[in-house]
Amino acid sequence: MARIEYDGGTAFRRINKRQARQSFVAGHPVVLCPCKLAPFGAWRPSCMVQLTADECFDNIVKNFEWYNCNYETGYYPSYWIKQG
């Protein structure tokens, strides 16, 4: 999958939904971004999510898709984790 490195040397790796769900359940932060956009830009809607007691991964993804994904940005999210 894709790998992006930003200033400061922080590297992120794109993963699939199954791997994102496993990382989320393990307590690691997962970044969601619409599929046609690169994450972490000034005008791009990316969202870092972490596990809390009352949130389900599928509900978070469903809400992200509803509010941030459309014909211009892509209809589904891409998933990114910090590589390290």
| Across 36-64, average pLDDT | 82
Q: Tell me, yes or no, if the pTM score tops 0.75.
A: yes
| Across 37-53, average pLDDT | 76
* Beta-carbon count within 10 A of 13 CB: 15
In which band, very low, low, confident or very high, does the pLDDT at 53 lie, cut at 50, 70 and 90?
A: low
In which band, very low, low, confident or very high, does the pLDDT at 69 lie, cut at 50, 70 and 90?
A: very high
Q: Tell whether the torsion through CA atoms of 39, 69, 52 and 57 is positive or negative.
A: negative
Closest C-alpha among 10, 30, 12, 11 to residue 20: 30
Per-residue pLDDT at 62 exceeds 90: yes
Give the neighbor-by-neighbor strand order of the sheet with 30-34. 3-6, 10-15, 77-82, 30-34, 47-49
* Beta-carbon count within 10 A of 34 CB: 22
Per-residue pLDDT at 13 exceeds 60: yes
